Amino acid sequence: MIDILMPRLSDTMTEGAIAAWHKQPGDSVSPGDVLVEIETDKALMEQEAYDAGVLVEILVAEGENVAIGTPIARLDDGHDEVSPAPPATGVTPAPVPAPAPAPAPAPAPAPADIAPERRTATPLVRRLARERGVDLRDVSGTGPGGRIVRADLEAAGAPAVRAQTDAPSAATPDAREPRGVPFDAVRQAIASRLTTSATTVPSFTATASADVGELLSLRAQINDASAGTPTKISVNDLMVRATAIALRQHPEINASYSPEGRGQTLLHSRVHIGIAVASPVGLVVPVVRDADRAAVSTVAAATRELIAKAGDRTLTTAEMSDGTFTISNLGMFGIEHFTAIINPPQGAILAVGGVRHELALVDGEVASRSRLRVTLTADHRIIDGAAAARFLSTLVALLENPMRIVV
């Protein structure tokens, strides 16, 4: 018999939730078969079987959340030894006198017969029940041993409100009428990582503004010349490429903090740009690798593919790992300027606003200019203000001379 354990599917994963079982007890399993979908702190991922056998028991039902290393199912691979049958006399030989064997325990009651006040449920289910006003004593459990799982709450239909026989609560009702939305694994990871970043990383911000009129014109020319092709170049694609080139020129920004020894700066030899993407389950950061060496069209194609996967929740751990710097762009939402929180262990993140048309004095005359603001948030333990200023100066120069980005 083989215990199937909750795997570690990412470097930051500490627990996972069962999204869906693809095999049921009694099903034959072959190596490579998809057993289960697991929701991690980063994505929804499929877990394949490594051994052949028959799935005999599911220990963690759909919707339940357990720590890594916890048994979630059992697979019979046919290698277990069968215990010898006891002697017909019923006497078990022993080298020393032993007390008479205790009477066999009574068989466990069927799930439907479990006393209401002793119904078992996971902490997640109990929390959901409280938030929905469901009385677990009115719900029949279908999990192992009659345990109530999330699907049982859904099957119960409209939330059941327990009759109040006690005195009315003295608590004042919340006039805001809030509705709780429980964190899933991704949102929990986001909350934990950003809390850690905001409370443990001493950071500072610096903002610069670039005239991107020529950049927008060049983008239009590239897209006109490639009409009919599936990939169009966006301002963000040009921003990724420009940032990667600037990071290559300023390796002290393409860095991470390490607490080893008395603390040290890890200077990364490769430039892997993370792109903050708003997915259906929350913020994810897929990575465009070696963005400084890739053509803009390659960056655009890679970005489209990663964003599509983020929307489908099919990003792999590898596609979200090894980032050395992150770009967060809210310009498409009309945001002019904002600051972003560093994505640890990276040393910096760039917040990109939208393009705004502003009046400027050019050669003594008023003219309209298209300007874009970028804000760098940096870990002050490894990046100084002067280094951040030099990096932003290089980035602005690239954005204002866009031919240097595409050649």
Q: Which two tokens stand for residue 6?
A: 């909750």
How many whole angstroms separate alpha carbon 16 and alpha carbon 184?
A: 10
What does DSSP assign to residue 346?
A: B
Q: Position 219: which residue type?
A: R
Contact present, 314 and 43 (Cβ < 8 Å): yes
**C-alpha angle 358/361/363, rounded to 5°?**
140
Q: Which two tokens stand for residue 163?
A: 């009759």
240 burial class (0-12, 13-18, 19+ CB within 10 angstroms)? buried
Backbone angles phi, psi at 348, to 5 degrees: -160, 160
List the catalytic residues: 380
Query: Which residues are CB-contacts of 406 (< 8 A; sequence separation ≥ 6)?
Result: 218, 222, 238, 241, 295, 296
| Helix/strand/coil for 188 | helix
Whether the bond into 31 is cis, omega within 30 of 0: no
Q: What is the largest CA-CA distance in the chain?
A: 112
Q: Which two tokens stand for residue 4?
A: 């199937």
How many whole angstroms separate alpha carbon 281 and alpha carbon 279?
A: 5
Q: Position 253: which residue type?
A: I
Backbone angles phi, psi at 374, to 5 degrees: -125, 140
Q: Which residues of 322-331 are buried (b: 16+ CB within 10 A; e: fewer)?
A: ebbbbbbbbb
Whether the bond into 86 is cis, omega within 30 of 0: no
Q: Which residues of 127-145 are buried (b: 16+ CB within 10 A; e: fewer)?
A: ebbeeeebebeebebebee
What does DSSP assign to residue 380?
A: T
For residue 362, give the H/E element and its range: strand 356-362
